[in-house]
Amino acid sequence: MKAAIFDPGKRSAAFHLRIEDVPRPQVAPGYALLRVLACGVCRTDLHIVEGDLPVLRQPLIPGHQIVGDVIVSVRPTHAESSLGVLRPRRRG
Ligand SMILES: [Zn+2]
């Protein structure tokens, strides 16, 4: 799958992001894999790009405010089922 990877080593803000092929994540129980249709950029992303916040993991794929279609979902185990339920959006 394609992802925008943040590279904190680049000096120019125009080259902080590069598009790469990355492995498709394994879906753990209680989680879902989404095909991202739209992704917002929030102030937290900008703080990371501007160096105000540390990059806590690398490679970093920024953006956590998304709209997407559920591709795969895995039922939570009994112990995890009390954490919440993911409801896929409905079309129409
Ligand atoms: Zn945010």
Whether 73 is covered by a domain: the verdict is yes
Given this model, what pLDDT does residue 76 score? 81
CA of 70 to the centre of ligand 1 (A): 21
Range of the domain at 78: 2-83
Q: How far is CA 90 from the centre of its chain?
A: 21
CA of 38 to the centre of ligand 1 (A): 14
Maximum CA extent, the chain: 48
CA of 63 to the centre of ligand 1 (A): 7
Are 67 and 38 a contacting pair, CB within 8 Å? yes
pLDDT per residue over 28-87, tens digit each? 998 999 999 999 888 988 888 788 998 888 878 888 889 999 999 998 876 655 555 555
Whether 41 is covered by a domain: the verdict is yes
Are 51 and 29 a contacting pair, CB within 8 Å? no
pTM attached to this predicted model: 0.62
Q: What is the CATH number of the domain that holds 28?
A: 3.90.180.10
CA of 43 to the centre of ligand 1 (A): 6
Domain count across the chain: 1
Q: How far is CA 87 from the centre of its chain?
A: 18
